[in-house]
Amino acid sequence: MIKVIVNGACGKMGRTVLSSVINDVELELVGAIDIKGGIDIGDLTGTAKTGLLVSNNLQNTIDSVRPDVMVDFTRPDTVFANACTALKNHVRPVIGTTGLSDAEKDKLNKLALENDTPAFIAANFAIGAVLMMMMAKKAAKYMSNVEIIELHHDHKLDAPSGTAITTAEMISEVRKPMKQGAPQEKEKLPGARGAQINGIPIHSVRLPGYVAHQEVIFGGLGQTLTIRHDSIDRSSFMPGVMLACKKVMHLKGLVRNLDKIL
């Protein structure tokens, strides 16, 4: 059994992860952490009282239960420190929180190697989202004009999403940077054409009712191609999270994105 703790346990994603870990025969839930401490896990998962209470201190939880894996769905401003704490204590982080900079990811990779403790991070744990990114990369070889629209719930703290950034980076592996649109194009309002990664515009939508959605639109002579993925429920991420909890036990350094472990 792989011993798992969940950081950010009281959030919507955290609660879903708790239930999934509990129901996985290869995993054992041994702890949960959130700034809202003292809550019984059963109250978060809609089951009977378990006697296992949410802690508000990551280090104390690690010291008391000695987990193998930490799943982190917290906040962009805390995830880096959480991952560093885990790695220094030889706990393998599985990170679903987006917002880490490239420099922070490089530091985590170095820390993972120094402590001989692997780590895993994914921009999106949904299998369909991974396929969407892979298909977009393939399409970009033949249709170079492309824009990305990502749509999320209005409580998401970072924009653009990690999925959109990763998609643009994957497309950039097969497509040279280029300026799209009219050569004399002018934004009447700053940001109207979106954020730019290597000339690929990314547009972020934040509205109630959405979970996580993205479409990649390619344009060519007399035609367009749209590749879209929709997560309509947070359960869509759970197979990927559970897989990462098991695969991270045998990785090396920091491994990024679900396609590396499928």
Q: Count how many residues are written for the chain.
A: 262
Q: From the CA atom positions of the chain, what is the Rg in Å?
A: 20
Buried b (16+ CB within 10 A) or exposed e, 20-58: bbbebeebebbbbbbeeeeebbeebbeeeebebebbeeb
- List residues bridging with 218 in a β-sheet: 146, 225
* Alpha carbon distance 63, 196 (integer Å): 43
The CA-based dihedral angle spanning residues 12, 117, 88, 78, taken in that order and rounded to the nearest 10 degrees: -30
Reply yes or no: is the peptide bond before residue 160 cis, omega within 30 of 0: yes
Active-site annotation holder among 137, 152, 203, 247: 152
Angle between helices 102-114 and 79-88 (to 10 degrees): 10
* Alpha carbon distance 237, 253 (integer Å): 23
The verdict on whether 152 is a catalytic residue reads yes
Burial class (CB in 10 A: 0-12, 13-18, 19+), 96: buried
Active-site annotation holder among 88, 107, 156, 246: 156
| 236: helix, strand or coil | helix
The CA-based dihedral angle spanning residues 159, 129, 155, 67, taken in that order and rounded to the nearest 10 degrees: -100
The verdict on whether 156 is a catalytic residue reads yes
Catalytic residues: 152, 156
